[in-house]
Amino acid sequence: MSWQSALACWFLRRRFRPQTLKPHIDVSHARALTEKRVWSPEVPRGWRLRELDGAGGKSLRGEWLERTGGEPASGTPALVLYCHGGGYYFCSPRTHRSIVFGLATRANAPVFSLDYRLAPEHRFPAALDDATAAYRQLIAEGVPPLSIVIAGDSAGGGLALSTLVALRDAGDPLPAGGLLFSPWTDLAASGASIVDNDGADPMFSGPAIARAAKVYLGDMPATHPYASPVYADLRGLPPLFMMAGSTEVLLDDSRRVAAHARAAGVDCELEVWSKMPHVWPIFAPFIPEANRALDRAAEFVRHATSRGAHAAQASSVTSMV
């Protein structure tokens, strides 16, 4: 563990974790705290940031990071649809620009960071509806499905996986892959690491997870497979790449998904990084491990979309024969 990562863990344990020890979720406080402390990196040279508000009946509401002078939906070899974390009730594309900017520049791929509706004003399945609608809008605008990777962190990681499941169930053409950073996939909080890593996790207490889930779920059962994709049938999904920290209370949310995916015949890779805090890539470029994690993520994006392009070309040739 680098000294930068150790410092981040100290900060989280001192400032963030105490909030998760409280008996109730304070949505307003979480939103205010996040917006107050958000650090926004500069837009990378050669790229531009473009905000969309979903006007005109279109489903794209969020932020495009794209090459200067380039249109995101025309002829791109790779594109990332990103779902930010924040327990489904706080954070935004703005709070997650460090991940988005780092991933885009490393993968040389435009990224659309989705501004999905938040709970409790908009409970499940609002976020899922927004994510599936955004993906379908990209396809409608001409983006080849196999050039897209759906990605996300924490709640956004769970949302990305749920989106893949929902798209498969609806018969939509699937993207090239799913990229998940410390995904929250079990809103029932039944993983062993909820207890085993309670106290070791510098960011969350174990009991806070179930409390946060209620904000998003309301009266919906926590085991609904579109809310908690760890309970979903994962057969037929595209390749998955996941990262999680060894001391996270949500570690088993990744471990169990990886086991279920492999049992279902899905190409799935899980990397467990020693003592890394929840969603550590968000600390790029300040933490070496965050930079290395984004390097690995970008490698997956390039590989998955390249494989998808080859598959699409082979399918085209076969159809002509």
Distance from chain centroid for Cα 183: 7
Catalytic residue among 59, 98, 147, 154: 154
Distance, in Å, from the CA atom of 28 to the CA atom of 148, rounded to the nearest integer, reads: 34
Catalytic residue among 84, 228, 278, 289: 278
Task: Note whether 61 and 115 are within 8 A (CB).
Answer: yes
Respond yes or no: is residue 29 known to be catalytic. no
Q: Assign 41 to helix, strand or coil.
A: coil
Which of 65, 58, 60, 127 is closest to 96 using CA atoms? 65
Catalytic residue among 248, 254, 260, 289: 248
Distance, in Å, from the CA atom of 25 to the CA atom of 208, rounded to the nearest integer, reads: 8
Respond yes or no: is residue 154 known to be catalytic. yes
Distance, in Å, from the CA atom of 192 to the CA atom of 308, rounded to the nearest integer, reads: 35
The secondary element (H helix, E strand) that includes residue 259 is: helix 251-263
Respond yes or no: is residue 278 known to be catalytic. yes
Active site residues: 154, 248, 278
